Amino acid sequence: METLKERRRSKAKRRSQVNSGEGGDDFFSSGEHSVGTEEVFNSCSAIEEATETVEEKRIGFHLLKDLTSLDKDITPSDIEKLKERGFHTYESVMYATRKELIAIDGISERKIDKIIHIVSSYVNMGFTSASEIYVKRKDIIMIGTGSERINELLKGGIETGSITEIFGESRSGKSQFCHNLAVTCQLPVAKGGAEGRCIWIDTEGTFRPERIVQIAQRYKIDPEVALDNVSCARVFNSDHQREILIEAAALLATYRHSLIVIDSVMALYRTDFQGRGELAERQTHLGRFLRHLLRLADEFGVAVVMTNQVMANVDGSAMYGGDTKKPVGGHIMAHASTTRLYFKKSKGEQRICKVYDSPWIAENEGRFAISSDGITDVVEDN
């Protein structure tokens, strides 16, 4: 049976074979992977220059700017109007409802229907055989957590292209875990990374660039480059939290990203909507935000990691040995998250990560430690 390191090497090899064609991202070419991490991430400007030559089919999406060459009725002005509302790719158009698209000011229904008709021939929205899905899932990139024990628990790390929710009490290690991911996502695939930038949506003022610097030094990445590869937005209300995803989509379409962090997803909703009278409105607003997040994960293949708070569990299960805490957000949050991880504080700087819910990972738990270097394995006492 393959070890995690062997699986990463084989994925990196397959990836380098794909990348070897012309028109690929020069910065992330197979030749760069052979050198040390500090050399691979030597210059942030190299990423910016390389984004102009990224081969869109290889990275899984088609930019809307190409539509102007496919139909003379579609103008650059139409493309700009779509981009202003967060639609940058063929996939984003196909994932949206017709109602959403015709609501965009300045584009007629007739033209919207024409755009949908054109892009539908490029995006597969039908059935795919299970064998094809199985083969594709073999190449899904996992972002290393910094702890080999937790990587093993999660079958390789944090899965890209899906949503991972991390919930737990204060000081359970949620934000520290995300800071570590913001650095490891930049590493080459062979080193447990995903070769992309990070978008960080900060709702509680917990983002600390100093931690990025400390963790980058552990992985021998130039701290300035590591910081430049993280785009952070401080949001102040639930409307702002939803609208910032439009700006995030523009970044995802321009530069290569591998991770979106929301820390934390429910903090603003708990203050903006209060009491049972506003519960339905809160859940509707939250559902739209989560749907947009899932759309971005599918569209750009990025990992979405969102931290969440907990509340007292007052149902009958707590009386019979069940958990006394449960994540905030209700059923909408539960259904939107692909994998749910429950973090608990242990002795000292040790924390426990429990797989709370997952479609493919068995319920289990493992310990990790928080140090000045970030997330590490627990050093057992002799």
Q: How confident is the model at residue 315 (pLDDT cuts 50, 70, 90)?
A: low
Same domain membership, residue 334 and residue 276: yes
Backbone φ and ψ of 202, nearest 5°: -105, 110
Residue 314 has pLDDT above 80, yes or no: no
Instruction: Provide the b/e sequence for 231-244 (b: ≥16 CB within 10 Å).
Output: bbbebeebeebbeb
Same domain membership, residue 89 and residue 207: no
Closest alpha carbon to 62 in 299, 291, 251, 255: 299
Provide, for the chain, the percentages of residues in helix, strand and coil under a 3-state DSSP scheme, each rounded to the nearest 5: 50, 20, 35
Query: Is residue 219 one of the residues assigned to a domain?
Result: yes
Q: What number of CA atoms fall less than 13 Å from residue 64's CA on the CB side?
A: 28
Give the DSSP H or E segment for 165: strand 163-168
- 3-class SS of residue 211: helix
Q: Give pLDDT, residue 322.
A: 65
Top-confidence range, 1-15, 204-218, 304-318: 204-218
| pLDDT tens profile 244-284 | 999 999 999 999 999 999 999 999 999 999 989 999 999 99
| pLDDT tens profile 95-121 | 999 999 999 999 999 999 999 999 999
Residue 59 token pair: 């990275």
Q: How confident is the model at residue 375 (pLDDT cuts 50, 70, 90)?
A: very high
| The last residue of a domain, from among 120, 149, 184 | 120
Residue 225 token pair: 């480059």
Contacts of 267 (CB under 8 A, 6+ apart): 203, 204, 309
Give the DSSP H or E segment for 79: helix 76-84
Query: Is residue 187 one of the residues assigned to a domain?
Result: yes
Residue 272 token pair: 């903006």
Same domain membership, residue 244 and residue 327: yes
Q: Give pLDDT, residue 318.
A: 54
Query: Is residue 13 one of the residues assigned to a domain?
Result: no
Query: Is residue 30 one of the residues assigned to a domain?
Result: no
Same domain membership, residue 225 and residue 111: no
Number of domains the chain contains: 2
Of 21-25, 73-77, 250-254, the one with minimum mean pLDDT is 21-25
Same domain membership, residue 263 and residue 293: yes
Residue 12 has pLDDT above 60, yes or no: no
Closest alpha carbon to 299 in 19, 136, 58, 62: 62
Q: How confident is the model at residue 13 (pLDDT cuts 50, 70, 90)?
A: low
Closest alpha carbon to 186 in 377, 371, 42, 6: 42
Same domain membership, residue 168 and residue 81: no
d(CA 313, CA 296): 32
Query: Is residue 26 one of the residues assigned to a domain?
Result: no
Q: Give pLDDT, residue 18.
A: 42
Q: Give pLDDT, residue 316.
A: 56
Same domain membership, residue 97 and residue 209: no
Question: What percent of the chain shows pLDDT beyond 70?
Answer: 82
Query: Is residue 261 one of the residues assigned to a domain?
Result: yes
The CATH code of the domain that includes 72 is 1.10.150.20
d(CA 367, CA 376): 10
The CATH code of the domain that includes 287 is 3.40.50.300
Q: Give pLDDT, residue 66.
A: 85
Same domain membership, residue 163 and residue 83: no
Q: Give pLDDT, residue 59.
A: 52
Same domain membership, residue 111 and residue 161: no
Q: How confident is the model at residue 363 (pLDDT cuts 50, 70, 90)?
A: very high
- Range(s) of the domain holding residue 357: 140-376
Same domain membership, residue 309 and residue 279: yes
Same domain membership, residue 115 and residue 176: no
Backbone φ and ψ of 339, nearest 5°: -125, 135
**Is the CB of residue 63 less than 8 Å from the CB of residue 54?**
no
Mean pLDDT computed over 225-243: 97
Query: Is residue 5 one of the residues assigned to a domain?
Result: no
What pTM did the predictor assign? 0.84
**Is the CB of residue 256 less than 8 Å from the CB of residue 262?**
no
Is the bond preceding 264 in cis, omega lying within 30 degrees of 0? Answer: yes
Q: Give pLDDT, residue 313.
A: 81
Same domain membership, residue 213 and residue 332: yes
Q: What are the CA-CA distances from residue 114 to residues 61, 80, 117, 207, 222 (Å)?
A: 19, 16, 5, 43, 47
Query: Is residue 39 one of the residues assigned to a domain?
Result: no
Backbone φ and ψ of 120, nearest 5°: -65, -25
| pLDDT tens profile 138-169 | 989 999 999 999 999 999 999 999 999 999 99
